[in-house]
Structure 1
């Protein structure tokens, strides 16, 4: 049995279909149609990734995502029937790592799940390497344990936020474009999501780090080009 996946969707046909595809990949699936059942599962079971529908009969996926981020860093993918940009931004701001809009192709969803789990598993079980710890101006990033400290205080970063910060630190002094960040994290097959996804994650990172946009200490915006961390 592979990793455990939580599915929360009040559209039973969709939830059942996703369950079938994930079971075919030998994932252990916890499937629920309400927020209350999902929250109970989150508190009782070991989860490796969550698929959260935005609209639920007794709540919404945003509140579940927020609850998850209070304790856990495993990947969260939002499922939404809405095309509105605000829903996507809300999910990412609350700590989601990815989103997919209904109707979707089940195989694409499975590919997204695998991509997120690969990164999360890599960060938490990577072999020890001499250069696994990145240090920069009070910032300490351990790529083996997926831990990040700022001025000796832990930062609770999602896998996507961790990826962005790690890439920028490894390239410090150089400008990294949104396109390059996007490719490094999701691969070129996800370019259609647009650069706004990176913008939202950068904003969330700055909030957690207490980094000011106007006079940043860490993540600097190079307008029209990308982002960089000064040497």
Structure 2
């Protein structure tokens, strides 16, 4: 019979001894999924949106035909949001994919700071751009494009 104090030890023992390969494979699959997303992006040399062009081969961004100087984090963040156009990405998803590690503690401020800088640079290049990085309060961010030509504020 298993006592309450022994349950944790037994489960940990069984996981360590019998299924450690399972977790190794699971971690590899998660990393490969992120890498395969990036690899599939590299086959496309340019992502085009209304008023926005992301040159994946040269790591350049053009907004309203003007090149926008972005940091590596801002560029990666924009690519991630643009690839997932119309989908809300949580703070944890963004942090894991942009910073490449598990979110530990409150990472929201770092993300908010980079989003703010990214928005400012894009708005400065083209104030009338017809796309936006929308905040979904207490959840994350979403990249939206307005195809009918109206400016999104």
TM-score for both structures, normalised by structure 1: 0.40
Tell me the C-alpha RMSD between the 2 structures.
Answer: 2.4
For 1:191 and 1:143, locate their aligned partners in 2 and report how far apart those are by CA, in whole Å. 30
Q: Is residue 14 of structure 2 the alignment partner of residue 138 of structure 1?
A: no
2-structure distance, mates of 1:217, 1:144: 22
Alpha-carbon distance in 2 for matches of 1:228, 1:195: 15
Is 2:94 the counterpart of 1:181?
A: yes
Query: Is residue 149 from structure 1 mapped to residue 62 from structure 2 by the alignment?
Result: yes
Unpaired runs of 5+ residues, structure 2, are 1-37, 125-129, 146-153
**In the alignment, what sits opposite 1:162?**
75
Measure, in 2, the Cα distance between the counterparts of 1:219 and 1:172. Answer: 10
Equivalent in 130, 133, 136 of residue 219 of structure 1: 133
User: Residues of 2 paired with 1:225 and 1:193: CA distance?
Assistant: 13
C-alpha displacement of 1:201:
0.2
Pairs aligned (count)? 102
Residue 172 of structure 1 pairs with residue 96 of structure 2: no
Instruction: Flag as ranges the 4+ runs of structure 1 deviating above 3 A.
Output: none
Normalized per residue, which structure has more helix?
2
What is the rounded CA distance, in whole Å, between the counterparts of 1:140 and 1:217 in structure 2? 12
| Cα deviation, residue 186, structure 1 | 1.6
Q: Comparing both chains, which one has the higher relative contact order based on Cα–Cα distances under 8 Å and sequence gaps of 6 or more?
A: 2
What is the distance in 2 between the residues matched to 1:191 and 1:153? 37
Counting only pairs closer than 5 Å after superposition, residues 12-161 of structure 1 correspond to structure 2 as 129-161=42-74
TM-score by length of 2: 0.59
Matches of 1:217 and 1:163, distance apart in 2: 17
Is contact 2:50–2:131 with CA below 8 Å preserved after alignment?
Answer: no
